[in-house]
Structure 1
């Protein structure tokens, strides 16, 4: 008697498993925001995305806890078609927040900006970064140049305002200026006339008061913060700021990689790290020396609006770590996105050669066309192409 062979069902490919769970870790940029503010913006944009319908998970409470942070869980409302692979069954969205590691006074105290301003000017303007005008993004160094000019103008307004307290406008200003500079007669002969001319302007006190709160000074504030991080400047406790920021981001990545289900299995079949703006620099710093090779296999990276190609001209460690990451292809999948109307971004050095042109995207973010506007730089999380990368 012949017994028919039992036909075993074909295994379901892992890529279409309905039980997949993905962790998405967002690494924000320099712009100071509240913790999880950008995580929540990403969640809302994903919920409004028409490509793959998602909904909030009601069964897991308001937030998903892992060590050091909390996330929001989304579930696919419907699966994909035969030709369109489904999204993961569940997506947990986290934010690797590091804004609290920056000195608040770098953005809010004008007097501290004044005392550190000369070091800032020396760091940025006496450097090889000006080569970026012709090789990568001319707009980033141009923005720094504009910010540096604003900083010099602010210094000048303070000096002119101070001089105006000593000079009598009813008398000969040139003679008074020479008297003020009597300690250096040779210098007074050169500068007395322009000092008297500048001091005669009555607008200087207004400039010294209003310039620190104008949008152009945001560039100066960010340039100061970038300098502190790239140089690993010490904080008031003698700890490097770059080291602190790197640890804050690495801790969230470690927590997601080590998370386990109640059965002891890894909680996430894949982890997507999304870095924006200066967050891409921190991400490069973390991944270049990530010691757990097995975790890199389920890791994919999306970088948005990176300034790496310009900042690498000022930072040797950033240039070397980027080169090593791309040469070794430590991460299996990496998509780099820049905006054609985003003056703060440019393609990451070596990325296209390492991962191919299909993984190097330039988007039209269709924001304000005003020069040096940051509206395009802040628009990535609302982009259809970016959201599609996160849910696919």
Structure 2
């Protein structure tokens, strides 16, 4: 038997196959000692895809499992890398968006509300620095020096930002932010990406990031199905990858009428669907899609960034099985978000991937 696993990874893959090489491969090779699993030293290659090949020896047969990671980091528009004016405008829009919708999140889960509130506070601290830098930049604009009226208006603000209380406060804030478990730029970029995705808006004439990412997953699925040598197809997703994969599979269809297996690890579909009503419809369509044969969803209470996939009472959920996983991690790792990566090293989760 030969199976292809298309792995839609989470946010901030630093290179092609980053999560596959650094998390999934080590997990499969070290956490399933009772299973005979071997990694082919050579990469497996098909047109358009490069991945890893595993051999799983069964009692009477050998199973070949090829895993291909969908790389999408190159499509992300990072707010932290933009100029100060863009950070000022888009950052303010992002903050207002989450202030408005954070109260909706509070209705479904106090824990989610606590998390998003902490993140929002951190982003507000980051934005304070952007305001200070913007005002300091204005102070150095020579074209404004000729206008006495403008100088009289801006002088107090620029003085506050360059030598006054504002600059002193920002020095303290920046020192505090350096002690965060995750870099503040990573947090800002992640929330900005999620905001753009949920809004489904285009930027500067480019297609919305949602459309670009759906198409990227489609390309990978098409590459694998065109190969024609696989008996089984699985779509595995983790974290933000679960949002993208669900969005894609809602409208997935296969010309050969072959069903696939869908697996989600640690998704934020519940909190995201509270903010974006269209996502509730995509979950419903995914559950009703005849080409999605089954949906195994793994979540953990020790992973504060996720919950099980939400399903309203009127929806059929016969194909969806949500399974709670208990991680043995410290409270600090839960608070810092490190527990979000524990799915890659949990034997129950990995066994489902290999044996399911």
Which TM-score band applies after superposition, normalised by the shorter structure?
Answer: 0.7 to 0.9
Residue 45 in structure 1 maps to residue 24 in structure 2 = no
Q: Quote the RMSD (CA, aligned, Å).
A: 3.5
Task: State how far apart, in whole Å, the 2-side matches of 1:219 and 1:143 are.
Answer: 12
| Equivalent in the alignment of 1:56 | 39
2:117 to 145, 169, 190: 145
Alpha-carbon shift at residue 126 of structure 1 (Å): 1.3
Find the residue that maps to 1:280 and give its secondary structure.
helix
Q: Does 1:119 align with 2:93?
A: yes
TM-score by structure 2 length? 0.81
Structure 1 residues 342 and 113 mapped into 2: Cα distance closer, same or farther (>3 Å)? Answer: farther
CA shift at 1:322, angstroms? 0.7
Aligned to 2:343: 380
The question of whether the paired residues in 1 share the 8 Å contact of 2:251 and 2:286 is answered with: no
Tell me the equivalent position of 2:142: none
- Match 1:80 to one of 55, 59, 62: 59
Ranges in structure 1 where 5+ consecutive residues have no aligned partner:
1-19, 166-179, 189-194, 261-266
1:303 equivalenced with 2:264 (yes/no): yes
Q: Report which of the two structures shows the higher radius of gyration computed on alpha carbons.
A: 1
Asked if the contact 2:302/2:326 (under 8 Å) is kept, the reply is yes
Q: Distance in 2 between matches of 1:354 and 1:380?
A: 27
Are 2:210 and 1:231 equivalent residues in the alignment? no
Q: Does 1:207 align with 2:172?
A: yes
**Bigger Cα displacement from structure 2, 304-313 vs 359-368:** 359-368
> How far off its partner does 1:95 sit?
0.4
Q: Larger helix proportion, structure 1 or 2? A: 2
Name 2:105's counterpart in structure 1: 132
Cα distance in structure 2, aligned partners of 1:66 and 1:365: 36
Structure 2: gaps of 5 or more residues: 138-149
Contact 1:144 1:219 in 2 (8 A): no
CA distance in 2 between counterparts of 1:164 and 1:302 reads: 49
Structure 2 counterpart of 1:99, from 73, 76, 88: 73
* Alpha carbons of structure 1 residues 55 and 117: separation in structure 2 relative to 1, 3 Å: same
Distance 1:328 1:351, change over 3 A: farther
**Hey, what does 1:251 align to over in structure 2?**
219
Contact 2:295–2:320 (Cα < 8 Å) also in 1: no
Pick from 298, 301, 325 the counterpart of residue 337 of structure 1. Answer: 298
Distance verdict in 2 for CA 1:244–1:206, change over 3 Å: same
Corresponding residue of 1:347: 308
The corresponding residue for 1:22 is 3
Instruction: Summarize deviations over 1:246-299 as a string: whole Å, max 9, x none.
Output: 111111111112213xxxxxx1111111110111111111111113264442x1
Change in CA separation of 1:207 and 1:295 when aligned onto 2, cut-off 3 Å: farther
Instruction: Name the counterpart of 1:284.
Output: 246
Distance in 1 (CA, whole Å) between partners of 2:199 and 2:118 is 22
Partners of 1:25 and 1:124 in 2: how far apart? 32
TM-score (norm 1): 0.74
